[in-house]
Amino acid sequence: METMTKNAGFDASKILRYPRLDTVLMVEEFIRKHSGEYGKKRLWESLPRKSMYQTFSAIIDYLEYSGKIVISRDKKIVWIWNPELVKKYLSKPELSW
């Protein structure tokens, strides 16, 4: 698992401050509502509650690693996670494991 994480650009061993669940959910919700509007620093400054930048960066890294967000060419953070589409594909027998 360690090799997979490093290859994907997310290394949990380098996290100094682990975010609380409510902070992760707050960042997710804010990105969902403002998808494609903000770059990383401006998004952090615009959050409804403040958090340490290191914690925020760990959340962004995790969300990108888990496939919920992408960072566009112009450095905007875009929400791409679509749970309905995931359910659709998981219900197909040829895609089950």
Query: Which CATH number covers residue 16?
Result: 1.10.10
| Residue 37, domain extent | 2-95
- Give the other-Cβ count within 10 Å of 51's Cβ: 19
Residue pLDDT, tens place only, 39-78: 999 999 999 999 999 999 999 999 999 999 999 999 999 9
Task: Quote the number of domains for the chain.
Answer: 1
Half-sphere exposure of 22 (CA within 13 A, CB side): 4
Per-residue pLDDT, 8: 55
Per-residue pLDDT, 9: 65
Residue pLDDT, tens place only, 69-85: 999 999 999 999 998 88
- What would the mean pLDDT of 22-43 be, rounded to a whole number? 97
Q: What is the mean pLDDT of the chain?
A: 87
